């Protein structure tokens, strides 16, 4: 699959999310992200799920976010989209 001109949606735009974006940009991918806040450049989570060809989750599992991936969000995804969860801790 060609990555150039595909959209990568990153949920959690901290240190690891930003490094992931740099790598994806080197492949010619468009980057959109959601940081859980109104940070400049951030898109809402529904837009991210609807527009992304690849979605990469980079957020710690906490009681306040353990169910945000739900049937409604998954139904917004393109049929050809991929979802990846990056686990960075214990």
Which homologous superfamily does the CATH classification assign to the domain defined by 7-85? NAD(P)-binding Rossmann-like Domain (3.40.50.720)
pLDDT of residue 90: 41
pLDDT of residue 87: 61
Tens-digit pLDDT profile for residues 19-61: 999 999 999 999 999 987 666 678 999 999 999 999 999 887 7
Lowest mean pLDDT among 12-16, 43-47, 85-89: 85-89
pLDDT of residue 85: 76
Q: What are the residue ranges spanned by the domains of the chain? A: 7-85
User: CA-to-CA distance for 13 and 5, rounded, in angstroms?
Assistant: 20
pLDDT of residue 63: 81
| Position with higher pLDDT, 63 vs 29 | 29
What is the percent of the chain where pLDDT is above 90?
A: 63
CA dihedral 71, 73, 76, 81 (to 10 degrees): -100
| Position with higher pLDDT, 77 vs 41 | 77
């Amino acid at each position: 699959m060609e990555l150039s001109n595909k959209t990568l949606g990153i949920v959690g735009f901290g240190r690891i999310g930003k490094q992931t974006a740099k790598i994806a940009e080197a492949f010619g991918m468009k980057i959109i992200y959601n940081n859980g806040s109104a940070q400049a450049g951030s898109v809402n989570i529904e837009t991210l799920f609807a527009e992304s060809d690849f979605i990469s989750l980079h957020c710690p599992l906490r009681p306040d976010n353990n169910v945000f991936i739900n049937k409604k969000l998954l139904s917004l995804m393109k049929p050809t989209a991929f979802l990846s969860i990056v686990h960075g801790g214990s």
